[in-house]
Structure 1
Amino acid sequence: MSILEKLSQLKNEISNVIIGKDDVVEMIFIALINNGHILLESVPGTGKTQLAKSFAKTINGTFKRIQFTPDLLPSDVTGIQFFHPKEQDFQLRIGPVYTNILLADEINRATPRTQASLLEVMEERQVTIDGETITLPNPFIVVATQNPIESQQGTFPLPEAQMDRFFMQISLEYPTFEEEKSMMKSYRLNTPFSTLKNVLTLEEIDEMKEQVKAVSISDEVEHYILSIVHLTRNHEDIQLGISPRGTLALMRASQGKAFINNRTFVTPQDVKDVAVFILSHRIVLTLEASLKKNAIQVIQSILNQVEVPLEAGAGQ
């Protein structure tokens, strides 16, 4: 079965649980084959938890969820060495980070100290507990959620350094009238999650991770990516532009987009298709600009400004 057939089957399975989100499923799949972490932003009740659980089930991976609250401690995330009275010695208890897909629910409700406990985990894919380092399973991705309507009271906004560690940010919108009608029919008798099938194995995902690296990028497309990035660093509306980590993320996501479209090369359209998901959470707008527009609008305006290269080899 080809990659397109596998992805189509995965979409079909997840669409039984989360209806009308094929584009979101594609983006999460691109993050998965690039070892990328995801920031999901949406109002409550739009299926963020179900989406993460469904993905874990379809790839036959493990899933764990942490509810982030102000009293959550770093050890609640990573684990602790605890004294066992019966054995009369200290024993290691690894936290919920030891999994394939970790849902960090409402991450902006935890204190900065607890948020920071995820930094090593996300970057190094390992956790250190009292000097002992444990390598996390492969694949390992963090799916963090936050509620945009609770951006002030009782929350701790993620600092720029941690936002930059998320491969992409995805906003889950409300379903359309027809999508919500289909959801009502689907959930009338039982929960579709119980019938989800395994589509991919962890070994197949490992193979795809190597295959996506082989997707070629021409000099023209590389120049296009760099032109977009450098314009964010010299833009009147942007206080903090895209970091080199963001440049690499845009490159890798573009390779992923080409890969799931069964192509061996990246086109400028691939770059445009993923740019908002990869870049919008990495920029900081000036105070004046933030009163008039949001980061997505600024990134879209930059995409409209940068000249798109024409490539003979990419069918342009």
Structure 2
Amino acid sequence: MSDQINNQVSDNMVPGQQISQAANKQIKISEEEYKYSQEVIKKLSDYYDAKVVGQQQLKFSLIGAIIADGHILIESVPGLAKTTAAKAISDAVDGKFARIQCTPDLLPGDIIGTQIYNQANGKFETILGPVFANFVLLDEVNRSSAKTQSAMLEAMQEKQVTIGGKTYRMPEDIFTVIATQNPIEQEGTYPLSEAQTDRFLIKEVITYPLASEEVEILNRMESGAINRVEPPVLTINDVDKVQDICEKVYVDEAIKWYISSIVVASRRAGQIPGCEVGKYVRIGCSPRASIAFLKMAKAVALIQGRTYVVPDDVKAVSHQVLRHRIGLNYSAVADNVSVEQVIDGIVNAVKTP
């Protein structure tokens, strides 16, 4: 499956060395752009750390998704700072922010907007919903009905919504949806459909903080630091520029073949020699997974201070990109096999360039 990669990259090469040499010849990012992007990323990171204790993996995913210009789904049990983290990142940027608390009785019109009849002039007027913002926080998205969840499909994919037969565009510069959800086994939740989850660039799953981190949370509560309002440190224009710089990050052809091989392997996992977990895959990934890999790998490279992508950048986001796109069968549940174990098995089965 990875023969195309192996033909392009020699077995004795140092990982990233050949890619680095190619990137030096084809680099498009100027030194000024590089320094600018690093300053913006550092400001986002520092602002997050001032508001959220721990959860560094979540910080990595949030910043990566934003500079990659994608949407992110965050899952955990209640009380682990999902909303706080999402709000912290959006507060760092001086843009329009909207928070939508999802409930079972929430209607599509409550999100995208609706038409209201004006008796004074005898005409229908369109009232746009809160989705028309730079950062939209869908809190506990899986507590809303399937009909309401589907209202976001057009907005997230096409960056537009249709109300009364007329199309309305989302903000031209930045439009990022940060959705949080509780595990689907929690009472009163509605699992997101595959079509809905596929629209999210990545999915992050967070766990409980360490004991030392929990003590720091208590200290910040006592001092009032958690509730302290901090002014934005960036503008929408800053984020827009970094997104443009991120698109210029160099990706070698070998890396693209590597990404493609991983995604194709997810569709044929049961046929991969030596991949024992392949038998648990019910459905593989769509081409959106390849696109997400490409965009997130570029973002990871920029976060790591590089202007080119190496294989480790792809591996670093394999869980985030694939965990909501690979469907497992009932045998996986019976054998207590997680989707992350399956992802690791698939990635390990594909030879690294």
TM-score, normalised with respect to structure 1 = 0.92
Q: Name the structure 2 match of 1:185.
A: 219
1:211 Cα deviation from its structure 2 partner? 1.2
Q: Name the structure 2 match of 1:146.
A: 181
Identical pairs, percent: 38
8 Å CA contact 1:15–1:21 kept in 2: the answer is no
Q: Deviations over 1:79-111 (max 9, x none)?
A: 111123345432221111011111111211221
TM-score, normalised with respect to structure 2 = 0.83
Alignment of 1:67-78 (within 5 A): 67-78=101-112
Alignment of 1:132-211 (within 5 A): 132-137=166-171, 138-148=173-183, 150-151=184-185, 153-211=187-245
Q: Name the structure 2 match of 1:283.
A: 326
SS of alignment partner, residue 188 of structure 1: helix
CA distance in 2 between counterparts of 1:23 and 1:8 reads 15
Alignment of 1:294-305 (within 5 A): 294-305=338-349
Higher mean C-alpha displacement, 151-160 vs 200-209: 151-160
8 Å CA contact 1:13–1:197 kept in 2: the answer is no
Following TM superposition, where does structure 1 have runs of at least 4 consecutive aligned residues deviating by more than 4 angstroms?
none
1:4 Cα deviation from its structure 2 partner? 2.6
Q: Name the structure 1 match of 2:10.
A: none
8 Å CA contact 1:54–1:193 kept in 2: the answer is no
1:206 maps to a residue whose letter is: D
CA distance in 1 between counterparts of 2:55 and 2:230 reads 16
1:308 maps to a residue whose letter is: T
CA distance in 2 between counterparts of 1:173 and 1:51 reads 13
Q: Name the structure 2 match of 1:312.
A: none
CA distance in 2 between counterparts of 1:152 and 1:185 reads 30
Q: CA 1:298/1:198 → structure 2, altered by over 3 Å: closer, same or farther?
A: same
CA distance in 2 between counterparts of 1:302 and 1:199 reads 41
Is residue 269 of structure 2 the alignment partner of residue 269 of structure 1?
Answer: no
If you compute each CA radius of gyration, which structure gives the higher value, 1 or 2? 2
SS of alignment partner, residue 231 of structure 2: coil
Greater relative contact order: 1 or 2 (C-alpha under 8 angstroms, separation 6 or more)? 2
1:76 Cα deviation from its structure 2 partner? 0.9
2:305 maps to a residue whose letter is: N
SS of alignment partner, residue 19 of structure 1: coil
Q: Name the structure 2 match of 1:83.
A: 117
1:72 Cα deviation from its structure 2 partner? 1.2
Q: Name the structure 2 match of 1:306.
A: 350
8 Å CA contact 1:11–1:25 kept in 2: the answer is yes
Higher mean C-alpha displacement, 187-196 vs 43-52: 187-196
1:140 maps to a residue whose letter is: F
1:5 Cα deviation from its structure 2 partner? 3.3
1:31 maps to a residue whose letter is: A
Q: Deviations over 1:196-234 (max 9, x none)?
A: 232221112111111111111112211211121111111
8 Å CA contact 1:68–1:105 kept in 2: the answer is yes
2:128 maps to a residue whose letter is: I
CA distance in 2 between counterparts of 1:36 and 1:264 reads 19
1:172 maps to a residue whose letter is: I
Q: Name the structure 1 match of 2:23.
A: none
Q: Name the structure 2 match of 1:314.
A: none
Q: Name the structure 2 match of 1:228.
A: 262
Structure 2 residue runs without a partner (length 5+):
1-34, 270-278
Q: Deviations over 1:119-177 (max 9, x none)?
A: 001111111111222111231111111111x4264322111111111100011221111
CA distance in 2 between counterparts of 1:152 and 1:24 reads 22
SS of alignment partner, residue 94 of structure 2: coil
8 Å CA contact 1:80–1:92 kept in 2: the answer is yes
